[in-house]
Structure 1
Amino acid sequence: MSASPGALFADPFHEEFGTWMWGYTPYGGGGYGEVAAVAAAVGEGDDGAFFDAWVSAGDRLRAEAEESEAMGRRSASDLYLRASAFYASAYHPLFGDPVDPRLLEGFRRQIEAFEAGLALRGVHPVAVEVDEARIPAYLIPAFGREDEVRPLLILVNGYDATVTDSYFASAVAALQRGYHCLVFDGPGQGAVLFEQGVPMRPDWEVVVSAVIDYALTSPIVDPDRIVISGWSLGGYLAPRAASGDSRIAACIADPGQWDLGAGLAGFARQLGATDDEAANLTSLDDAVLDRLMSAIESNRKLRWSIVQRGFWVNGVSDLRSFLAKSAEYRIDDVDAIRCPVLLTQAEGDPIASAVPAFAAALHDVTVVEFTSAEGAGGHCSMRNRSTLNRRVLDWLDDTLGLD
């Protein structure tokens, strides 16, 4: 498969992951030229070359950060965090179980740089315990209002992203607006998956309730203005949390999701399943599963999404178990979500197709649409996060009455 016109990376698979950084550029992530330089270093190379190029760029930034710190410059924190974003870009193609040692190497460098950058701002991680998981959480005060009691925005990742991504994609914009932010990786995410081997769980209200308990120990958190915001799979996890914890004052789902099993039915039809087969994914016979698995294995992106990522994140080893596990991700008691909810809907994101039905079931809901014409029509508007953040935070300012 050849690169599309205008692409930086020769491999379209690398292009998708390699250009995530553009969503972070307005908030201190790498610029176009840096991404182009990484792409040139990768050239026609494989996933190993992709990993090496990003890590090399991260090492360069980390060395610059260390020099800046030694000289007492204020830029050191920003440089460490920027390096963290480069390391985080390196290992996505290497997802899978057993865990690739290079993935762990890149991730550990990422977290070391991330924590070094935050430590220079007085922010240090805590471990929030939820059953067998030790969740790393970082409570970051609003810029310039560090000692004030302010609303708290809790950011939830999905299948792919980690705390570094949450920071650049969402937290910086909110911190600039006067929100304290809490970023964390839960079961099936970041360190909890990579280092502890704890898979994802559908009852995200249990996870977030423990995180809120920790947040409320901080004197700067306004207990009446706690907001949950999730992107990608977090568009299910955040409203699921809101359905089970009344302390949440507002919820943002990017894009809004309430039944992953229903979404997989449409996916199965695209792979050739009949309507009857798609309606009964948890009870398919082996021949149909083999047919679906053959279609998945023949497509690199699908294989990565389902086998390398989906199986690993969910702690399963076959398609039948993956489908059964995915069917557990459903918000049965939508009526329990009593707080105001914002659902994003990007026109080119197939995951957003369930937004209208979800919106119709909610009490107090706002749907914000994003289009390809404004460069924000892709999944989570990654090519134009600044537009998404502006609209989402305007809604949140109005909803909470933020001064």
Structure 2
Amino acid sequence: MTPPNPATPQRRAFMAAAAGTLAQPVLAQTQPAPAQADKPAARLERSRTRVQGFADAEMDYQLLRQLGAARYGGASVGECLALAQRIKNGDPASWIQEFAAAGARQEADALIRARRGHAASARDQYLVACNNYRAAEYYSSVQAPEHQRLGLKSRECFLAAMQQQGGGFDTVSLPWRDTPLPAYYVRSPHAGARRGKTLLIISGYDGTLEETWLAYGRAALERGYHLMLITGPGQMDTLRFYPGMAFIPEYERIGKLALDHVLARPGTDARRVALMGISYGGYFATRMAAHEPRIRALIANSPIVDLHAYMVSFVGFDPAEMSDAQDIRLADVDQIPPSVLPPQTREMMRNLMLRLGQPSFRQAYRRLRDFRVGDDGLRRIRCPALALVGEGEGPEPLAQHAHFLKTVGGPSASHVFTVAEGADGHCQIGNLAYSAAVSMDWLDEVFAAR
């Protein structure tokens, strides 16, 4: 086939669409630090670390994502900036190499500290290692053995951190066909002996159980919530165990499994069970709530009611309507020159097709048409619902946010995060603590009435 012309709308579309839900505007896009930064300083200066990111928008967003995790112990600002100086702009292989090496160094350090009896220090280092392995996993092709290895290393470090923390943590397998789905349950140390409130959280396209714990898990536990972190077919956690498993539209089936598990636990108050969805999880959670009256409160961050329209908004036209001549098939991806399709975009496009279980870009977008929650489903959501979105996410996420609020059958509330709050981007990665404050305070007030 003839590769698409870089100047055409289709070419721009491929780059945006392949980035999935995280191809978002960023607050700063600057060139990486110059190579001479690694040379010995000729004069006295405060630090050789520079606050600089990447010219590539997606890579800069991923750096901001990593920096944001520092709020709850998932990263060190200094280490992230030092890594950025060594990573080649827009080069996934460079990113993977540096973040994987950082994860290995931190994991080794954590093990030494654990053996010397320093449980708190070991836990903190394991958490940072876990998140750095996740960052490396993000840019790996889902077809590559390295993707699975990095993902399992992230999980292994997280489990080691929980062991150092001690108590109240369980790994869970939810019975999905012949492929049990991984999940975590954490009992709040502040919940007391009585039946307590529970928050289930599901992430999206490339979030993980471990990253979700870092983003909102600690905040929920501190506020007295038991925590159930869940994942389903096609998500990063399940790909670690079942690389060929694709996304399904009917996530209410996963919601039923998770609710069955949580409500069977003796510490659960069935009147106070909430569900939160992050990124693609905004669709998953909304779909679950439309079918599950056992969900007593819903937080959609952001509320995605039509995943196909959401993804089309990134590209400016509908790839589902491409002609055969325009379509890009899995077998074609590696044949397109890097000058037309950069390595980062190539892997993102390939991953999108694989994770939707489709042989071409056009077919992937046609499959996305099945991922929607109709107005009848929205009206069936009778529980209180909170809709979150960033003002920098673009017209389509904001429009779906407004439609959700107008259509849901129960009481609804909203928060639009702003640039001034440092939280206008997708999933509020730049200010997770404020995002947690908005969502958890709302949930506390909803459940206080019960």
Q: How does 1:258-277 map to 2 (within 5 A)?
A: 258-268=305-315, 270=316, 273=317
Shift of 1:185: 2.4
Contact conserved, 2:202 with 2:278, CA < 8 A, in 1?
A: yes
Output the CA distance in 2 between the equivalents of 1:116 and 1:131. Answer: 29
Q: 1:51 aligns with which of 62, 87, 96?
A: 96
Counterpart of 1:64 in structure 2 is 109
Deviates more, 1:120-129 or 1:238-247: 120-129
User: SS where residue 224 of structure 1 aligns?
Assistant: strand
Partners of 2:279 and 2:81 in 1: how far apart?
26
Q: Quick one: distance in 2 between partners of 1:44 and 1:321?
A: 31
Alignment partners' CA distance in 2, 1:299 and 1:45: 8
Q: Which has the higher contact order (CA 8 A, sep 6+)?
A: 2
Cα distance in 1, alignment partners of residues 90 and 405 from structure 2: 44
Q: 1:4 aligns with which of 30, 46, 50?
A: 30
The 1-side partners of 2:407 and 2:264 are apart by 34
For 2:290, the equivalent position in structure 1 comes to: 243
Q: CA deviation at 1:327?
A: 0.4
Deviation (angstroms), 1:358: 1.7
Which amino acid in structure 2 is aligned with residue 373 of structure 1? A
In the alignment, which residue of structure 2 is the partner of 1:326?
A: 368
Contact 1:126 1:136 in 2 (8 A): yes
Distance, in Å, in 1 between the alignment partners of 2:211 and 2:74 is 10
User: Please, which of 368, 385, 388 is the counterpart of residue 341 of structure 1?
Assistant: 385
TM-score (norm 1): 0.88
5 Å-filtered alignment, 1:4-403, equals: 4=30, 7-9=52-54, 11-43=56-88, 46-75=91-120, 76-96=122-142, 99-120=143-164, 121-122=166-167, 123-145=169-191, 147-196=193-242, 197-268=244-315, 270=316, 273=317, 278=318, 282=320, 285-287=323-325, 289=327, 298=341, 303-305=346-348, 307-332=349-374, 333-350=377-394, 352-353=397-398, 354-363=400-409, 364-401=411-448
String of CA shifts for 1:220-276, please: whole Å, max 9, x gaps: 2222211110111111110100111111000111111111223344445x2xx4xxx
Write the deviation string for residues 273-322 of structure 1: whole angstroms up to 9, x where unpaired: 4xxxx5xx6555435657xx99xx747666554x2332122111212221
Q: Deviations over 1:195-238 (max 9, x none)?
A: 21211111111001101111223222222211110111111110
Structure with greater Cα Rg:
2
1:366 and 1:374 mapped to 2: Cα distance? 19
Query: Larger deviation: 190-199 or 313-322?
Result: 190-199
Name whichever structure is richer in helix by fraction: 1
Specify the code of the residue in structure 1 equivalent to 2:444: D
RMSD over aligned Cα atoms: 2.7
Residue 82 of structure 1 and its aligned partner are, at CA, apart by 2.3
Letter in 1 for 2:156: E
Percent of aligned pairs sharing the same letter: 27
Instruction: For 2:288 and 2:247, locate their aligned partners in 1 and report how far apart those are by CA, in whole Å.
Output: 14
Deviation digits for residues 304-344 of structure 1 (CA, Å, limit 9, x no counterpart): 54x23321221112122212210011112211111111111
SS in 2 for 1:111: helix
Structure 1 residues 373 and 3 mapped into 2: Cα distance closer, same or farther (>3 Å)? closer
For residues 312 and 82 of structure 2, what CA distance do their matches in structure 1 show? 40
Residues 153 and 179 of structure 1 are in contact (CA less than 8 Å); yes or no, is this contact kept in structure 2? yes
Range 165-174 or range 39-48, more displaced: 39-48
Q: Is the 8 A contact 1:230 1:236 kept in 2?
A: yes
> Could you tell me whether the CA contact under 8 Å between 1:93 and 1:304 is conserved in 2?
yes
In structure 2, stretches of 5+ residues that fail to align are 1-27, 32-50
Structure 2: distance between partners of 1:45 and 1:366:
39
Residues 117-155 of structure 1: per-residue CA shift (max 9 Å, x gap):
223323231211112431111101124447552211111
CA distance in 2, matches of 1:211, 1:228: 10
CA apart distance, 1:46: 3.4
Instruction: Provide the secondary structure at the position in 1 that maps to 2:198.
Output: strand
